[in-house]
Amino acid sequence: MTRTPKRCRVVELAVLALVLAVLVHTWLLIGLFVPLTIEGPSMAETLHGRRRRMDCRDCGFRFAWQAARGGARSRITCPNCGCEQTPPDGEGEIPGDCVLVARSMPALRAPKRWEPVVVRRPGRESELVVKRLVGLPGETVELRHGDLYIDGRLERKTLRQQRATAVLVHDARWMASALPEAQRPWQEADGRRRWTWRDGCLIHPEVESRPPPAAAAPSAGLADSVKRRKTIDWLIFGPRRRTAGAAAASPAPVTNLLGYNQARHQRSETVHAVYDVMLSIELDACRGPGCLYLAATDGREEFCVRIDPNRRRAEVFRDAVPALPPIPIDDLRGGLSATRIELSLFDRQFLLAIEERTRVEIPLAEGGNPAAVYCPLALGCDRLGLRIGAVRVYRDAYYAPSSRPDVRASGAWRLAGDEYFLLGDNSDFSDDSRFWHPDQPVTCRSLVGHPIAVHYPSHPVRWGGLRFQVPDLRRIRYIR
């Protein structure tokens, strides 16, 4: 038996290593996956470019804002609780998110609406940009009142698509303990003080038996309507505009303002009230003979959901009238404990989801927006002990025809047979298909791939007098 000379074996291993390196470089970096660093603000809050970051001194909520040109801002406002504060000294910029792009997807299937895509920017083909695809070849795209219309019809999103475009308005896990009750966004309707906040959780005790709740007549405002249901302990959500030194905070509607943009000037005519809101709660524990209630209004119609964990069913009321027969929810193993419930009014549609499943979808009549709504959401409880681990309020992305004073956009675009229409999630500060030259459309050849994950987000860490950027494991995530 002959032995392979040691020198030949070394050469074979070297050649094998070289071949593997070429394959990895060709298929993983150039062929299948390619890393891309986000620089601009157009996809915030989905993806962040160069930014600064801090933890709010009042509520502890961690938030980011776009790094301003010419230095840091002297005052920054927390988007969660509204506290105006001075950023900490010495905090430098954080590099943009580094995303992993799957280049093989355009070859495997056609892109779908609402998916984020990576394309070569028209007119600057060497520049790669990330946008959300909203218009497909041959369609007519319109933007009205912040919503997307395709061929004259309002495009309504599924639950998964709503989650992808949802913008966080308030996370009740980060409630400022020193904040006066009059300035809190969640307030009890009648002053009973049944609800308490403890360790980031919302708690309602199981109380004595009461008469069954009576149906309430509809009213112009959600706050007035829920107060009429006197047997239910209601918490009403209404954004508050805090003023330094003031004992109370003035009511304010949900708007398209984004905390990430506060280092940039935004013209007042580009600020719009947003009626597309979502309430998401995660129940940790539930006990007692009563019911849980969730309510929402867009200023035109009011919806109330009554969930009975003991009878394992949900009922939907539209302007105090049953909208559907009772909906069975007997697929929940532990009742309402450890359950996620989502209620939304995105895209002129009422949607109810329980434990990752869409249970109700009711399309609503289209039309112009009403006056501003100051109390769009409410959470109620009757004879039920609850511990809610997370209460979050979201709004939908607001798409305007144009946010530039030097550009007049018609709000309607007719796409050619091979053309796509792209928008940034941060519509007010996005360079996208609304402004790209019509002679240089985005076509199939422009598509590079799909961003699938943020694989190297970072945050600054200090050690002695040194400052490092280390991976932020909490932000490593799949991109929707």
pLDDT the model gives residue 220: 36
Q: Walk along the chain (480 residues) and give the pLDDT tens digit of each residue.
A: 455 566 777 777 777 777 666 555 545 544 467 789 999 999 999 999 999 999 999 999 999 999 876 656 678 999 999 989 998 876 678 889 999 998 887 778 899 999 999 999 999 989 999 999 999 999 999 999 999 999 999 999 999 999 999 999 999 999 887 778 788 899 998 777 889 988 889 999 986 555 444 444 333 356 555 555 568 999 999 998 876 655 567 889 999 999 999 988 888 888 999 999 999 999 999 999 999 999 999 999 999 999 999 999 999 999 999 999 999 998 876 677 889 999 999 999 999 999 999 999 999 998 776 778 999 999 999 999 999 999 999 999 999 887 665 565 667 899 999 999 999 999 999 999 999 988 899 999 999 999 999 876 666 666 766 666 667 777 778 898
Nearest to residue 188, comparing CAs of 236, 221, 253?
236
Q: Quote the pTM value.
A: 0.87
pLDDT the model gives residue 215: 41
Helix, strand or coil, per DSSP, at residue 78? coil
**Are 174 and 453 contacting, i.e. CB atoms less than 8 angstroms apart?**
no
Strand positions, DSSP E, 79-227? 84-85, 98-102, 116-121, 124-135, 140-144, 147-150, 153-154, 167-171, 186-188, 196-198, 201-204
pLDDT the model gives residue 421: 97
pLDDT the model gives residue 208: 55
pLDDT the model gives residue 24: 55
Q: Which two tokens stand for residue 63?
A: 């938030």
Q: Which two tokens stand for residue 213?
A: 């709740």
**Are 41 and 97 contacting, i.e. CB atoms less than 8 angstroms apart?**
no
pLDDT the model gives residue 12: 75
pLDDT the model gives residue 128: 95
Beta bridge partners of 201: 198
pLDDT the model gives residue 226: 55
CA–chain centroid gap for 232, Å, is: 29
Nearest to residue 339, comparing CAs of 390, 289, 299, 383?
390
Say yes or no: domain 167-395 is CATH 2.60.120.560: yes
For the chain, the domains span: 6-32, 51-97+456-478, 98-166+399-454, 167-395
Name the fold adopted by 98-166+399-454.
Umud Fragment, subunit A (2.10.109)
pLDDT the model gives residue 213: 47
